[in-house]
Structure 1
Amino acid sequence: MFPIRDHNPSGRTPYVTYALILANVGIFVSYWGLFSNPRALNAFFADYALIPALVTQGDGVTGLLTSMFLHGGLTHLAGNMLFLFIFGDNIEDEMGHVRYLGFYLACGLIAGLAQVVSGPLSPVPTVGASGAIAGVMGGYLLLYPRARVDIFIFLIVFFKILPIPAWLLLAVWFGLQIYGGFGARAGDGGVAYWAHAGGFIAGLALTVPAWLRKGGPAYWRRTDGHPPHPAGQYDSARTHIPRTGRRK
């Protein structure tokens, strides 16, 4: 189950979101050849990934920033860019291009610090834009909790596109990060759950001023949690799968 689009069109071209996607893809392509050489890849990550143990010692602080633009594989990159593409345009539309870029980077830095705090002695490199993107998702939850998001459900031979409210998708996602964070052992490799959770909370907190300027709770009452403009319409009820007749 994963989101494929929202019904919340933006009012301006999200240049920063597009630029961030291009930057992440371009940087990934630049070191793609290292994946065939694990030793070289590990050396590259040692220089540019976030390594909590080094930060705790006072070294490798630049990894808090550079790690945001690195990914551990094609699936990792594609998943992150999909989430950024779906949720980033509306936050950029709300905040403006420059503020949105600062917001994105701040969420990523806070997410990295959360990962360091969760495992200060971990020597495992952490890479990915997901902490910053989690902040974008946190801001989206505060501003547009009932915006519709289409999710793609795939169960072996069954698949369907189903629209659900954003708050449900994002709350489930956040709950899974908290569950995974408490279930994972500090220092283990895998998903950086606390970076995700930290970025999400940071995004919520940093979006509060924009939410208050709109009226805070009064804004929710006016819009009932929906975007303040007409929602985009898609034919998500049908999958257009041809039916086959029963053979006699």
Structure 2
Amino acid sequence: MFVPILDDAPVRRIKRPWVTYGFIAACTLIYVLFQSGWVAPERGWAVVSFGLIPSVLFGDAVLPAGYAFVPAWTTLGTSLFLHGGFVHLAGNMLFLWVFGDNVEDDLGHLRYVIFLLLCGVGAGLAHAASAANVDAPLVGASGVVSGVVAAYVMLHPQVKVWVLLFYRVPLRLRAFWIIGAWGVFQAGNALLSGATDIAWWAHVGGFVTGAVLVIALKRPDVRLFDRDLRARIQRRGERPAQGPA
């Protein structure tokens, strides 16, 4: 649908978004070392052992001997660091790169770690409860990214974001319109697409979890819906730009 490139929101409270950088680095390193086949033979068992399998999570099935390296409930976390391919990884990490730094800035490092993990748990549970194929493993940080995107639009709906619409047309639009359209697209597919390889309900679960958590975990001095931005504009006697773009 679209690819985010960069946004206009500065980071004001932290020097660097170290948690965002760390998450991107961990996902990339795990993919390169264990899934890509570039460094060592691809380890397909990793997806089975550390991916989220609904039937195993709920105790209706068990993994074959030699695959159960961690308790089933921990796959709500381990599955977030594995991906289904390079495009899957690159797309998730790009969204996190563009939107994650500002959410980390507005929550603080520690609360942002908690936020990311809980968004992943919410996404995993939503998928597990709705999966058509309960024996297929779920991997990827898409649910985490969905939570970050939801938090971003709750915090900064008026910020303008450069995107590539349909992966080729550059546009600069307010986050409200971009993420709003993205959210409708995710929910529509979750409701209408039926059985598919894409875990649409994980996206929806992560989005809803992120929207709720940002209210509780944001810094006390951070105001939702760009009210900080409006206050700064009023103090400087500036007028906000008009129109959706």
- TM-score normalized with structure 2 length: 0.80
SS in 1 for 2:161: strand
Q: 1:67 to 1:225 in 2, by over 3 A?
A: farther
1:9 matched residue in structure 2: 10
Q: 1:30 aligns with which of 28, 33, 36?
A: 33
Written as runs of structure 1 = structure 2, the 5 A alignment for 1:168-183 is: 168-183=177-192
1:105 matched residue in structure 2: 117
Bigger Cα displacement from structure 2, 207-216 vs 125-134: 207-216
SS in 2 for 1:124: coil
2:68 matched residue in structure 1: none
Task: Name the amino acid aligned to 2:130.
Answer: S
Shift of 1:18: 0.4
Structure 1: distance between partners of 2:230 and 2:100: 21
Q: 1:52 to 1:195 in 2, by over 3 A?
A: same
Q: 1:3 to 1:48 in 2, by over 3 A?
A: same
Structure 1: distance between partners of 2:98 and 2:135: 33
Shift of 1:222: 5.5
- Residue 57 of structure 1 pairs with residue 63 of structure 2: no
Structure 1: distance between partners of 2:206 and 2:97: 17
Task: Name the amino acid aligned to 1:203.
Answer: G
SS in 1 for 2:138: coil
Shift of 1:162: 1.2
Unaligned runs of 5+ in 1: 231-248
Structure 1: distance between partners of 2:233 and 2:126: 31
Shift of 1:119: 2.0
Q: 1:210 to 1:61 in 2, by over 3 A?
A: closer
> Identical aligned pairs, as a percentage?
36
Aligned structure 1 segments of 4 or more residues deviating by more than 6 angstroms: 34-38, 225-228
SS in 2 for 1:33: coil
Aligned length: 222
- Residue 198 of structure 1 pairs with residue 210 of structure 2: no
Aligned Cα root-mean-square deviation (Å)? 3.0
SS in 2 for 1:50: coil
Q: 2:163 aligns with which of 151, 157, 162?
A: 151
Structure 1: distance between partners of 2:219 and 2:25: 32
2:22 matched residue in structure 1: 19
2:50 matched residue in structure 1: 48
Structure 1: distance between partners of 2:88 and 2:232: 30
Shift of 1:227: 9.9
Structure 1: distance between partners of 2:40 and 2:121: 30
Q: 1:34 to 1:72 in 2, by over 3 A?
A: farther
Q: 1:167 aligns with which of 149, 171, 176?
A: 176
- TM-score normalized with structure 1 length: 0.80
Structure 2: distance between partners of 1:47 and 1:154: 35
Shift of 1:133: 1.2
